[in-house]
Structures are given as C-alpha cells and as structure tokens.
Amino acid sequence: MKLPKLPAELIDFKPEVGLILGSGLGFFADDRIEIVGHLPYAEIEGFPVSTVPGHAGQFVFGHVDGRRVICMQGRFHFYEGYRMDQLTLPVRMMYQLGVQTLFVTNAAGGINPSYIPGDFMLIHDHINFLGTNPLIGAVVDVGVRFPDMTEVYDKALRQKIRDWAQSQNIRLQEGIYLATTGPSFETPAEIRAFATLGADAVGMSTVPEAIVARQLGIRVVGLSCITNAASGMSSGPLSHEEVAETADGVRLEFADLLAAAIALS
C-alpha cells in the first residue's frame, strides 16, 4: 500500500518513538506530551479514520521527557472493516519517519484469574486469533519477508519497565495477549478455550501493529490496561462503557507508567 504524503512539519520533526493509544487511553497525549503539532487522520489523503467512541482520530507529535514522540490518539481495528494493510499503515508511516521504538497500548479483558480491573499487563507474547496476518500479500520493498517472531516484545526494555514499576509500587502483571476480531465480546466458552491456550488477556487490536513493526525491525513494547474481567469471569455483562470507565479510573497511574517506559527506551 502506497504511503501517504505527509506535511513537512512532521517529517522535519523526526520522531524517535511511536505510540498507539487504545480505547480509553487517548488522554495520555493531552496529559503528558509537550505538544508540537496535531495531524487529523481526515487531513491525510487516503488515510483511514477512527470510528470507535473514545478514539480522537489524529496524530499528536511532541516531546515526552526529551524524547521526540509521534502518537496515534485513536487507532484502527479489523472490525471497523479495514483491511490489514490499512490498519497497519500508520506503523509503516512511523518507520518512514524514523521511529525506532513502538509502544502499543490497549484495553483488554482479564482471563488470568489473578488479574483485576485496573491492573496493567506488559505483553511478553501474543496469540494471533484474527484469522489472518498483516504481512499477507505482495512482497514489500522494506523489511524481511519471513520475520522471526521469537521475541516480538523487547525483553530488555520489559525488564527495565518491570524494575521501575516495582520501585514505584505499581501493580504490573506480565502475560500473553490474545487478539480476536471483535466487535462482539467473547463467549464464556471461548474464554475458557483461550485460557487453555495460555492467554492471560484478550482484546481486539495490537497484534497486527506488533507484527508489522517487527517485520520492519522496530522495537516493540505492548502494554494492556485490564479494564474488565473477560466473559464468564464476572457476574455481569460486558460493555464498552465499562472499558472506558476503568481506563479513566487508572488515568494517573497509566500515564506515569507509560511516560517512564518512554524515558527508559
């Protein structure tokens, strides 16, 4: 897929770090980035737009602790009807701009019974349950054709983040994220099956972006906010509103953790 033409201001900014903010987590851009500029997705020719509540639909670029950062304030999902090459286009664009490290965040349902809403989880591996792969298609002119997925999420950087969280008494889990297509939440039977496969949390994003980033040689860190217990793990029904409410409740702690992770990268 052809990369869009970007404004000179963004090209000249030369971002080092990319951020993708998940459902209910877009506040980080407003709270912690010393903003240099905004670029709404709608102003980029041929670019997808966010259709999910809580996704602002723009790039924000600026500084976090002196690091030059470009941030997706609102991501794209497979369930919105976009092709894989469309929803991973921002990662290829970040690579073109010079991004070397990508932080992919999401709201996720907790499968591991020790997880509680409001926990954070570093992703140390993932299970692609989307039924497809973002690298299917014509051979690209950058990156490798058959990328190794032994260590998608950077081990050394995860260790630094764990050490920092422990020093700050922040409850930080580490586990396996399983991606489904959505937009329906999972059934209790599906959650039991995913637990058998080894999944600790489930969501509807992150994996396509992580795969493409690794194909391009970008370091990846995945961070989930456990916003609810997965289907069958709690007594009540699931809702998108619950996801947003839980994310807002841990706003300060999440912002502290992500800002520290960026500084450590």
Residues with a known catalytic role: 23, 55, 77, 79-80, 107, 204-205, 228, 240
Distance from C-alpha of 233 to C-alpha of 171, rounded to nearest angstrom: 20
Q: Dihedral sign, CA of 134, 139, 143, 144?
A: positive
Cβ pair 121, 173 in contact under 8 A: yes
Cβ pair 87, 34 in contact under 8 A: no
* Packed helices 155-167 and 251-264: angle between N→C axes, nearest 10 degrees: 130
Quickly list DSSP for 45-100.
Answer: TT-----STT---EEEEEEETTEEEEEEES---GGGT--HHHHTHHHHHHHHHT--
**Amino acid at the residue 128:** N
Cβ pair 200, 176 in contact under 8 A: yes
